A and B are shown apart, each in its own frame.
Chain A
Amino acid sequence: MRGPVAADFASYAAFYASDATEFISGPLDLAAAWHLFASDAGHWALKGFGWWTVTENGVPVGCVGLHHPPDQADIEIGWNVYDGARGRGVAREAAQAALNWAVNEMKAQRIVSYISDGNAASIALAERLGATRLPERAIHDASKAIYLHDLTRYAT
Protein backbone atom coordinates (compact mmCIF):
# COMPACT_ATOMS: atom_id res chain seq x y z
CA MET A 1 0.00 0.00 0.00
CA ARG A 2 1.36 3.38 -0.99
CA GLY A 3 0.13 6.83 -1.93
CA PRO A 4 -1.40 7.13 -5.40
CA VAL A 5 1.03 7.93 -8.24
CA ALA A 6 0.36 8.88 -11.85
CA ALA A 7 0.95 5.34 -13.11
CA ASP A 8 -1.97 4.08 -10.99
CA PHE A 9 -4.54 6.11 -12.88
CA ALA A 10 -5.17 3.72 -15.78
CA SER A 11 -6.40 0.90 -13.53
CA TYR A 12 -8.28 3.38 -11.32
CA ALA A 13 -10.10 4.86 -14.34
CA ALA A 14 -10.91 1.39 -15.69
CA PHE A 15 -12.43 0.43 -12.35
CA TYR A 16 -14.50 3.63 -12.14
CA ALA A 17 -15.73 3.11 -15.71
CA SER A 18 -17.12 -0.31 -14.74
CA ASP A 19 -20.47 -1.31 -13.29
CA ALA A 20 -18.68 -2.45 -10.12
CA THR A 21 -18.96 1.19 -8.98
CA GLU A 22 -22.76 1.29 -8.94
CA PHE A 23 -22.81 1.75 -5.14
CA ILE A 24 -20.11 4.44 -5.05
CA SER A 25 -21.58 7.01 -7.46
CA GLY A 26 -20.14 5.38 -10.58
CA PRO A 27 -19.63 4.68 -13.37
CA LEU A 28 -17.50 7.78 -14.00
CA ASP A 29 -16.13 9.08 -17.27
CA LEU A 30 -12.43 9.74 -17.68
CA ALA A 31 -12.59 13.39 -16.59
CA ALA A 32 -14.63 12.61 -13.46
CA ALA A 33 -12.39 9.67 -12.55
CA TRP A 34 -9.29 11.84 -12.86
CA HIS A 35 -10.83 14.51 -10.67
CA LEU A 36 -11.60 11.92 -7.99
CA PHE A 37 -8.13 10.37 -8.32
CA ALA A 38 -6.51 13.80 -7.88
CA SER A 39 -8.74 14.42 -4.84
CA ASP A 40 -7.61 11.10 -3.35
CA ALA A 41 -3.98 12.13 -3.79
CA GLY A 42 -4.55 15.63 -2.37
CA HIS A 43 -6.46 14.33 0.66
CA TRP A 44 -3.16 13.55 2.40
CA ALA A 45 -1.96 17.15 2.33
CA LEU A 46 -5.29 18.50 3.55
CA LYS A 47 -5.98 16.03 6.36
CA GLY A 48 -2.80 14.09 7.09
CA PHE A 49 -4.49 10.89 5.95
CA GLY A 50 -6.00 9.72 2.70
CA TRP A 51 -6.02 6.98 0.10
CA TRP A 52 -3.53 4.27 -0.67
CA THR A 53 -3.12 2.33 -3.87
CA VAL A 54 -3.12 -1.35 -2.96
CA THR A 55 -0.58 -3.26 -5.01
CA GLU A 56 0.22 -6.93 -5.44
CA ASN A 57 3.71 -7.56 -6.86
CA GLY A 58 3.79 -3.89 -7.84
CA VAL A 59 0.52 -4.03 -9.79
CA PRO A 60 -2.43 -1.92 -8.54
CA VAL A 61 -5.31 -4.21 -7.49
CA GLY A 62 -7.43 -1.71 -5.62
CA CYS A 63 -7.45 1.26 -3.32
CA VAL A 64 -8.23 1.73 0.32
CA GLY A 65 -8.53 5.01 2.11
CA LEU A 66 -9.37 7.07 5.13
CA HIS A 67 -11.64 9.77 3.86
CA HIS A 68 -13.14 12.83 5.50
CA PRO A 69 -14.71 15.45 3.23
CA PRO A 70 -16.54 18.18 5.13
CA ASP A 71 -20.06 16.85 4.50
CA GLN A 72 -19.35 13.57 6.33
CA ALA A 73 -19.83 13.42 10.07
CA ASP A 74 -17.00 10.94 10.67
CA ILE A 75 -13.77 9.72 9.17
CA GLU A 76 -14.68 6.92 6.81
CA ILE A 77 -12.67 3.94 5.67
CA GLY A 78 -13.45 2.89 2.12
CA TRP A 79 -12.16 0.10 -0.07
CA ASN A 80 -12.31 -0.80 -3.75
CA VAL A 81 -10.90 -3.94 -5.31
CA TYR A 82 -10.42 -4.08 -9.05
CA ASP A 83 -11.72 -6.69 -11.42
CA GLY A 84 -9.64 -9.87 -11.31
CA ALA A 85 -8.44 -9.37 -7.73
CA ARG A 86 -11.71 -9.99 -5.89
CA GLY A 87 -12.42 -12.98 -3.66
CA ARG A 88 -8.87 -13.33 -2.35
CA GLY A 89 -9.18 -11.20 0.78
CA VAL A 90 -7.32 -8.22 -0.71
CA ALA A 91 -9.79 -5.67 0.65
CA ARG A 92 -9.83 -7.25 4.09
CA GLU A 93 -6.06 -7.29 4.37
CA ALA A 94 -5.77 -3.71 3.11
CA ALA A 95 -8.57 -2.43 5.33
CA GLN A 96 -7.04 -4.05 8.41
CA ALA A 97 -3.69 -2.46 7.60
CA ALA A 98 -5.35 0.93 7.11
CA LEU A 99 -7.30 0.64 10.37
CA ASN A 100 -4.16 -0.43 12.17
CA TRP A 101 -2.38 2.67 10.84
CA ALA A 102 -5.36 4.87 11.73
CA VAL A 103 -5.42 3.68 15.34
CA ASN A 104 -1.71 3.56 16.04
CA GLU A 105 -0.28 6.35 13.87
CA MET A 106 -3.02 8.96 13.57
CA LYS A 107 -4.64 8.02 16.91
CA ALA A 108 -8.12 7.91 15.40
CA GLN A 109 -10.95 7.59 17.93
CA ARG A 110 -13.86 6.78 15.64
CA ILE A 111 -13.98 5.39 12.11
CA VAL A 112 -17.04 4.35 10.17
CA SER A 113 -17.93 2.99 6.76
CA TYR A 114 -20.93 4.39 4.91
CA ILE A 115 -22.36 1.56 2.81
CA SER A 116 -25.38 1.31 0.51
CA ASP A 117 -27.91 -1.36 1.48
CA GLY A 118 -27.47 -3.28 -1.77
CA ASN A 119 -23.69 -3.46 -1.54
CA ALA A 120 -23.55 -6.98 -0.13
CA ALA A 121 -19.82 -7.45 -0.66
CA SER A 122 -18.90 -4.37 1.34
CA ILE A 123 -21.43 -5.12 4.08
CA ALA A 124 -19.97 -8.61 4.41
CA LEU A 125 -16.47 -7.18 4.72
CA ALA A 126 -17.54 -4.59 7.29
CA GLU A 127 -19.07 -7.41 9.34
CA ARG A 128 -15.97 -9.59 9.00
CA LEU A 129 -13.93 -6.63 10.24
CA GLY A 130 -16.14 -6.56 13.34
CA ALA A 131 -18.01 -3.35 12.51
CA THR A 132 -21.42 -2.71 14.08
CA ARG A 133 -24.32 -1.45 12.02
CA LEU A 134 -25.78 1.67 13.69
CA PRO A 135 -29.53 2.33 13.66
CA GLU A 136 -29.24 5.80 12.10
CA ARG A 137 -28.53 6.58 8.45
CA ALA A 138 -25.66 8.66 7.07
CA ILE A 139 -26.44 12.38 7.38
CA HIS A 140 -24.84 13.24 4.03
CA ASP A 141 -26.55 10.42 2.15
CA ALA A 142 -29.65 8.70 3.52
CA SER A 143 -29.20 5.77 1.12
CA LYS A 144 -26.25 4.62 3.22
CA ALA A 145 -26.06 2.79 6.50
CA ILE A 146 -23.35 3.53 9.06
CA TYR A 147 -20.99 0.75 10.15
CA LEU A 148 -18.92 1.66 13.20
CA HIS A 149 -15.52 -0.06 13.29
CA ASP A 150 -14.23 -1.73 16.45
CA LEU A 151 -10.92 0.04 16.92
CA THR A 152 -10.02 -1.89 20.08
CA ARG A 153 -8.96 -4.74 17.78
CA TYR A 154 -6.10 -2.66 16.43
CA ALA A 155 -4.77 -0.98 19.56
CA THR A 156 -1.31 -2.17 20.49
Chain B
Amino acid sequence: MPTSTIPLIETKRLVLRGPEPDDYPNFKATFASYRSRFMGGPLNPYETWMLYAAEIGHWNIRGYGMWMIHHRDDGRTLGMAGGWFPAAWPERELAWIIWPQEAGHGYALEATHAVRGYLYDALGWTEAVSYIDPKNLDSIRLAERLGAVKDPEAATIDGNDAVYRHPSPERLKSGQLRDGIELEISHYADPLFKPKGMPID
Protein backbone atom coordinates (compact mmCIF):
# COMPACT_ATOMS: atom_id res chain seq x y z
CA MET B 1 0.00 0.00 0.00
CA PRO B 2 1.28 3.47 -0.78
CA THR B 3 1.97 5.34 2.46
CA SER B 4 -0.61 7.95 1.43
CA THR B 5 -3.39 5.37 1.93
CA ILE B 6 -2.41 4.70 5.55
CA PRO B 7 -5.25 5.94 7.76
CA LEU B 8 -4.83 9.23 9.57
CA ILE B 9 -5.30 9.28 13.33
CA GLU B 10 -5.80 12.57 15.13
CA THR B 11 -5.58 13.32 18.83
CA LYS B 12 -5.68 16.55 20.80
CA ARG B 13 -2.01 17.44 20.21
CA LEU B 14 -0.95 14.92 17.54
CA VAL B 15 -1.52 13.81 13.97
CA LEU B 16 -0.44 10.26 13.10
CA ARG B 17 0.30 9.48 9.45
CA GLY B 18 2.07 6.86 7.42
CA PRO B 19 5.87 7.19 7.38
CA GLU B 20 7.07 9.28 4.41
CA PRO B 21 10.54 9.65 2.85
CA ASP B 22 10.76 13.22 4.22
CA ASP B 23 10.30 11.95 7.78
CA TYR B 24 13.53 9.96 7.67
CA PRO B 25 16.10 12.39 9.19
CA ASN B 26 14.84 12.25 12.79
CA PHE B 27 14.37 8.49 12.57
CA LYS B 28 17.96 8.21 11.35
CA ALA B 29 19.31 10.45 14.10
CA THR B 30 17.44 8.47 16.76
CA PHE B 31 18.63 5.07 15.53
CA ALA B 32 22.18 6.35 15.26
CA SER B 33 21.99 7.43 18.92
CA TYR B 34 22.15 5.73 22.27
CA ARG B 35 18.40 6.28 22.50
CA SER B 36 17.96 3.18 20.31
CA ARG B 37 19.94 0.88 22.60
CA PHE B 38 16.83 -1.07 23.63
CA MET B 39 15.62 -1.44 20.04
CA GLY B 40 18.59 -3.16 18.46
CA GLY B 41 20.62 0.02 17.98
CA PRO B 42 22.66 2.05 17.56
CA LEU B 43 22.60 1.19 13.86
CA ASN B 44 24.90 2.17 11.02
CA PRO B 45 23.50 4.22 8.09
CA TYR B 46 22.74 1.15 5.96
CA GLU B 47 20.99 -0.68 8.79
CA THR B 48 18.99 2.40 9.73
CA TRP B 49 17.80 2.98 6.18
CA MET B 50 16.85 -0.67 5.72
CA LEU B 51 14.91 -0.54 9.00
CA TYR B 52 13.03 2.54 7.84
CA ALA B 53 12.24 0.80 4.54
CA ALA B 54 11.01 -2.17 6.59
CA GLU B 55 8.78 0.12 8.67
CA ILE B 56 7.05 1.10 5.43
CA GLY B 57 7.14 -2.41 3.96
CA HIS B 58 5.42 -3.70 7.10
CA TRP B 59 2.31 -1.77 6.02
CA ASN B 60 2.39 -3.45 2.60
CA ILE B 61 2.81 -6.90 4.05
CA ARG B 62 0.55 -6.77 7.11
CA GLY B 63 -1.89 -3.97 6.31
CA TYR B 64 -0.90 -2.19 9.50
CA GLY B 65 2.35 -0.91 10.94
CA MET B 66 4.01 2.01 12.65
CA TRP B 67 2.53 5.50 12.24
CA MET B 68 4.72 8.59 12.18
CA ILE B 69 3.73 10.91 15.03
CA HIS B 70 3.55 14.60 14.08
CA HIS B 71 2.88 17.56 16.32
CA ARG B 72 -0.37 19.21 15.31
CA ASP B 73 1.02 22.74 15.76
CA ASP B 74 3.99 22.65 13.38
CA GLY B 75 3.94 19.20 11.80
CA ARG B 76 7.35 18.23 13.15
CA THR B 77 7.88 14.51 13.77
CA LEU B 78 8.07 13.27 17.37
CA GLY B 79 8.47 9.51 16.99
CA MET B 80 6.50 6.46 15.87
CA ALA B 81 3.81 4.24 17.35
CA GLY B 82 1.77 1.37 15.99
CA GLY B 83 1.46 -2.35 15.41
CA TRP B 84 4.58 -4.41 14.74
CA PHE B 85 4.55 -8.08 13.75
CA PRO B 86 7.60 -9.36 11.89
CA ALA B 87 8.18 -13.07 11.36
CA ALA B 88 9.39 -14.84 14.52
CA TRP B 89 7.40 -12.50 16.80
CA PRO B 90 5.18 -14.66 19.05
CA GLU B 91 2.27 -12.17 19.07
CA ARG B 92 1.31 -8.86 17.52
CA GLU B 93 3.08 -6.05 19.29
CA LEU B 94 2.09 -2.53 20.17
CA ALA B 95 5.32 -0.53 19.85
CA TRP B 96 6.49 3.06 20.20
CA ILE B 97 9.59 5.21 20.00
CA ILE B 98 9.96 8.93 20.73
CA TRP B 99 12.91 10.96 19.46
CA PRO B 100 15.19 11.81 22.40
CA GLN B 101 14.69 15.57 22.11
CA GLU B 102 10.91 15.16 22.29
CA ALA B 103 10.76 12.95 25.39
CA GLY B 104 8.95 13.97 28.53
CA HIS B 105 5.77 15.49 27.10
CA GLY B 106 3.52 12.44 27.13
CA TYR B 107 3.56 12.09 23.34
CA ALA B 108 4.16 8.33 23.46
CA LEU B 109 1.25 7.89 25.89
CA GLU B 110 -1.10 9.97 23.76
CA ALA B 111 -0.04 8.35 20.47
CA THR B 112 0.04 4.77 21.71
CA HIS B 113 -3.33 5.09 23.45
CA ALA B 114 -4.77 6.33 20.14
CA VAL B 115 -3.22 3.64 17.94
CA ARG B 116 -4.20 0.92 20.40
CA GLY B 117 -7.78 2.13 20.15
CA TYR B 118 -7.53 2.07 16.35
CA LEU B 119 -6.04 -1.43 16.22
CA TYR B 120 -8.74 -2.71 18.59
CA ASP B 121 -11.74 -0.87 17.14
CA ALA B 122 -10.98 -0.52 13.43
CA LEU B 123 -8.80 -3.60 12.82
CA GLY B 124 -10.42 -5.93 15.33
CA TRP B 125 -7.37 -6.81 17.40
CA THR B 126 -8.46 -8.64 20.53
CA GLU B 127 -5.03 -8.70 22.16
CA ALA B 128 -1.72 -6.85 22.06
CA VAL B 129 1.59 -7.17 23.87
CA SER B 130 4.71 -5.04 24.09
CA TYR B 131 8.15 -6.67 24.15
CA ILE B 132 10.39 -4.50 26.32
CA ASP B 133 13.99 -4.78 27.44
CA PRO B 134 13.83 -5.13 31.25
CA LYS B 135 16.39 -2.32 31.51
CA ASN B 136 14.20 0.05 29.49
CA LEU B 137 12.52 1.63 32.50
CA ASP B 138 10.88 4.47 30.56
CA SER B 139 9.07 2.02 28.29
CA ILE B 140 8.09 -0.28 31.15
CA ARG B 141 6.64 2.70 32.97
CA LEU B 142 4.77 3.74 29.84
CA ALA B 143 3.37 0.21 29.38
CA GLU B 144 2.12 0.33 32.95
CA ARG B 145 0.58 3.77 32.49
CA LEU B 146 -1.24 2.30 29.47
CA GLY B 147 -2.64 -0.41 31.75
CA ALA B 148 -0.41 -3.21 30.47
CA VAL B 149 0.69 -5.89 32.93
CA LYS B 150 3.80 -8.04 32.80
CA ASP B 151 2.91 -11.53 31.56
CA PRO B 152 5.62 -13.92 32.77
CA GLU B 153 3.95 -16.90 31.04
CA ALA B 154 3.95 -15.39 27.55
CA ALA B 155 6.52 -16.39 24.92
CA THR B 156 9.32 -13.83 24.46
CA ILE B 157 11.16 -12.88 21.27
CA ASP B 158 14.55 -14.18 22.35
CA GLY B 159 14.47 -14.55 26.12
CA ASN B 160 15.98 -11.11 26.72
CA ASP B 161 12.72 -9.18 26.69
CA ALA B 162 9.79 -8.88 29.10
CA VAL B 163 6.26 -9.26 27.76
CA TYR B 164 3.67 -6.67 28.83
CA ARG B 165 0.09 -7.59 27.97
CA HIS B 166 -2.28 -4.74 27.19
CA PRO B 167 -5.78 -4.54 28.63
CA SER B 168 -8.46 -6.09 26.41
CA PRO B 169 -10.70 -3.97 24.17
CA GLU B 170 -13.62 -4.59 26.54
CA ARG B 171 -11.68 -3.35 29.57
CA LEU B 172 -10.59 -0.24 27.69
CA LYS B 173 -14.05 0.73 26.50
CA SER B 174 -14.93 2.56 29.68
CA GLY B 175 -14.16 2.82 33.34
CA GLN B 176 -11.39 3.91 35.61
CA LEU B 177 -8.51 2.65 33.48
CA ARG B 178 -9.52 4.58 30.37
CA ASP B 179 -10.44 7.65 32.39
CA GLY B 180 -7.07 7.57 34.14
CA ILE B 181 -5.12 7.36 30.86
CA GLU B 182 -7.12 10.16 29.29
CA LEU B 183 -6.82 12.29 32.41
CA GLU B 184 -3.06 11.91 32.35
CA ILE B 185 -2.93 12.80 28.64
CA SER B 186 -5.04 15.89 29.29
CA HIS B 187 -2.71 16.87 32.12
CA TYR B 188 0.23 16.82 29.73
CA ALA B 189 -1.66 19.14 27.41
CA ASP B 190 -2.45 21.42 30.34
CA PRO B 191 0.79 22.46 32.06
CA LEU B 192 -1.11 23.39 35.24
CA PHE B 193 -0.87 19.72 36.21
CA LYS B 194 2.32 17.77 36.70
CA PRO B 195 2.53 14.49 34.74
CA LYS B 196 3.09 11.22 36.55
CA GLY B 197 5.55 9.74 34.07
CA MET B 198 9.01 11.27 33.95
CA PRO B 199 11.70 10.43 31.43
CA ILE B 200 15.05 9.12 32.55
CA ASP B 201 16.92 10.28 29.48
- Across the interface, do A37 and B57 meet the contact criterion of CB distance under 8 Å? yes
- Across the interface, do B60 and A39 meet the contact criterion of CB distance under 8 Å? no
Kindly state whether residue B16 has any CB partner on chain A within 8 Å: no
Point out the residues of chain A lying under 8 angstroms from B199, CB to CB.
Answer: none
Point out the residues of chain A lying under 8 angstroms from B58, CB to CB.
Answer: 38, 42
Residue of B44, B52, B61 near A37 (CB, 8 A) is B61
- B116 CB to closest chain A CB, in angstroms? 22
- A146 CB to closest chain B CB, in angstroms? 17
Point out the residues of chain B lying under 8 angstroms from A39, CB to CB.
Answer: 50-51, 53-54, 57
Point out the residues of chain A lying under 8 angstroms from B50, CB to CB.
Answer: 35-36, 39, 69
Kindly state whether residue B45 has any CB partner on chain A within 8 Å: yes
Residue of B3, B44, B56, B87 near A9 (CB, 8 A) is B87
- B27 CB to closest chain A CB, in angstroms? 11
Kindly state whether residue A34 has any CB partner on chain B within 8 Å: yes
Kindly state whether residue A4 has any CB partner on chain B within 8 Å: yes
Kindly state whether residue B118 has any CB partner on chain A within 8 Å: no
- Across the interface, do A42 and B57 meet the contact criterion of CB distance under 8 Å? yes
Kindly state whether residue A75 has any CB partner on chain B within 8 Å: no
Kindly state whether residue B86 has any CB partner on chain A within 8 Å: yes
The 8 A CB mask of B41-82 against A (1 = contact, 0 = none) is: 000111001111111111111100000000000000000000
Interface SS of chain A: helix
Point out the residues of chain A lying under 8 angstroms from B52, CB to CB.
Answer: 42, 46
Point out the residues of chain A lying under 8 angstroms from B46, CB to CB.
Answer: 69-71, 140
Kindly state whether residue B152 has any CB partner on chain A within 8 Å: no
- Across the interface, do B56 and A45 meet the contact criterion of CB distance under 8 Å? yes
Kindly state whether residue B200 has any CB partner on chain A within 8 Å: no
Interface SS of chain B: helix
Kindly state whether residue A144 has any CB partner on chain B within 8 Å: no
The 8 A CB mask of A52-91 against B (1 = contact, 0 = none) is: 0000000000000000011100000000000000000000
Point out the residues of chain B lying under 8 angstroms from A155, CB to CB.
Answer: none
Kindly state whether residue B192 has any CB partner on chain A within 8 Å: no
Kindly state whether residue A106 has any CB partner on chain B within 8 Å: no
Residue of B49, B87, B88 near A70 (CB, 8 A) is B49
Q: A39-B54, A140-B46 are contacts. A13–B61 as well, Cβ < 8 Å?
A: no
Residue of B24, B51, B57 near A41 (CB, 8 A) is B57
Residue of A4, A6, A30, A42 near B55 (CB, 8 A) is A42
Kindly state whether residue B21 has any CB partner on chain A within 8 Å: yes
- Which of A3, A35, A69, A140: most chain B Cβ within 10 A? A35
- Across the interface, do B62 and A42 meet the contact criterion of CB distance under 8 Å? no
13 contacts between A and B (CB under 8 A): A9-B87, A29-B88, A31-B86, A34-B88, A38-B53, A38-B61, A41-B53, A42-B55, A45-B2, A45-B56, A46-B52, A46-B56, A70-B49
Interfacial residues, chain A to chain B (CB-CB below 8 A):
3-6, 9, 13, 29-31, 33-43, 45-47, 69-71, 140
Interfacial residues, chain B to chain A (CB-CB below 8 A):
2-3, 20-21, 24, 44-46, 49-62, 86-88
